[in-house]
Amino acid sequence: MNRRELLLGGVVIAATRAVASRSASAQQLARVYRIGFLSTSSGTRPGQEKFEATLADLGYQEGRNLVIERRYAGGDLTRLPDLAADLVGADVDVIVTVTTPAALAAKQATARIPIIITNAGDAVGAGLVASLARPGGNVTGLSILTVELEPKRLELLRELKADARRVAYFGNSQNAADQLSFRQVQTAATSVGMDAIFVNAPVPEACESAFASMAAVRVDVLIVSPAATDLRSQIVATAARYRLPTAYGTREFVDAGGLISYGTSRADVFRRGAMLVEKILKGAKPADLPVEQPTKFELVVNLNTARALDLTVPGSLLARADEVIE
């Protein structure tokens, strides 16, 4: 073969590769990805908009190359298995779950479809993954340390009300994460000579009776499950009426008038969840992706609420706060 033939052959090969590359790119752009979204709430949660926005930044846009199948349980955890099965039947490429109960329902529904957990508490303790470093199976995502942060929330309440002797944890007894969180609160309370009780409020209608029962047994301070986001306005208003100092896991409660919150940035969690989804859509396996933990925590204090409760916020606490609402 002479030099001219070699050159022509090289041109043909290069052209063939370019056509193949363009064809592959076109096929990738033409593909429509399907994401299942399973949540215990009744609708969009605070920070969730960051999930869709991040996906769009990564090139996945609804109406073009992306379909999001959204399923909301409306606070009724008994609906989760059917909703998860519905997503499996829709043959989605990946399921994104919000809260531990949703993640457990998805895991029970499929061992085939990758599952990304967001806003879940102790992923290992709940049985979602074997370990954070090596999750195994079809589940990975973000474990937001909700359970581990409960003692810190109790510590903050004690800074605000040093004479507190009884703390209550407001949650749903059907939620495994809430049960784990309460045990953390109970252990922390016992270590400082306090009593701890669990107040079960699985539905919105139980909110008023829950606060009445706490008043009857003289609860001094309250910690609310982050999973109760849908009830935040009702909980905040009722806590104010009963003049009960309350700590929350997300700042949205404090924005609504709650006293104090300490927890992860939900917008950051949803952003990182979307980035994990992209890795899955590009071919990564959940078992090969370590479960991530939060790197950003927020302490937010509402001084207006503190004044209304006749509480003095120590200067040391204000100095540590990421935001003070006045």
pLDDT band at 299 (very low <50, low <70, confident <90, very high): very high
Top pLDDT among 230 and 183 is at 183
pLDDT of 97 strictly over 70: yes
Beta bridge partner(s), residue 248: 261
Q: For residues 84 and 162, state if they share a domain.
A: no
Examine the pLDDT at 144 and tell me if it is beyond 90. no
- 202 and 316 inside one domain: yes
In this prediction, residue 42 carries a pLDDT of 84
Q: Is residue 74 domain-shared with residue 195, that is, in the same domain?
A: no
Residue 89 has pLDDT above 60, yes or no: yes
Domain harbouring 311, CATH code: 3.40.50.2300
Shared domain for 184 and 115, answered yes or no, is: no
Instruction: Please name the residue ranges forming H helices in the chain.
Output: 3-30, 49-57, 80-89, 100-109, 150-160, 176-191, 207-216, 232-241, 251-255, 266-281, 303-308, 315-320
Percentage above 70 pLDDT, the chain: 90
User: What percent of the chain has a predicted confidence (pLDDT) above 90?
Assistant: 66
Q: Flag whether pLDDT at 49 surpasses 50.
A: yes
Q: pLDDT higher for 32 or 148?
A: 32
Type of residue at 45: R
> Are 67 and 138 contained in the same domain?
yes
- Lowest-confidence pick of 117-131, 163-177, 193-207, 281-295: 117-131
Q: Quick one: pLDDT at residue 2?
A: 53
With beta carbons less than 8 A apart as the criterion, state whether 298 and 261 touch: yes
The whole-model pTM stands at 0.75
Q: Is residue 1 part of a domain?
A: no
Is residue 318 domain-shared with residue 228, that is, in the same domain? yes
Mean of all residue pLDDT scores within the chain: 89
Cβ contact 106:97 at 8 Å: yes
Across the range 294-303, mean pLDDT stands at: 89
Per-residue confidence at 23, pLDDT binned at 50, 70, 90?
very low
Model confidence at 28: pLDDT above 60: no
Pair 170, 211 in one domain: yes
Q: Does residue 237 lie within any of the structural domains?
A: yes
Q: Are residues 125 and 34 in the same domain?
A: yes
**Residue 205: inside a domain:** yes
Q: Are residues 45 and 109 in the same domain?
A: yes
pLDDT of residue 194: 98
6 versus 142: the higher-pLDDT residue is 142
Same domain, 173 and 134: no
Residues 254 and 279 reside in one and the same domain = no
Counting the structural domains of the chain, the total is 2
What is the pLDDT averaged over residues 241-259?
95
Residue 30 above 80 pLDDT? no
Give the SS3 label for residue 73.
coil
Query: Is 7 inside any structural domain?
Result: no
Domain encompassing residue 159: 150-264+298-325
* Among the ranges given (82-91, 97-106, 175-184, 230-239), the one the predictor scored with the smallest mean pLDDT: 175-184
Of residues 59 and 120, more confidently modeled: 59
Q: Is residue 92 part of a domain?
A: yes
pLDDT digits 0-9 by tens, 170-229: 999 988 888 889 999 999 999 999 999 999 998 788 999 999 999 999 999 999 998 888
**Does residue 140 fall inside a structural domain?**
yes
Distance CA 37, CA 103 (A): 10
Residues 204 and 304 in one domain: yes
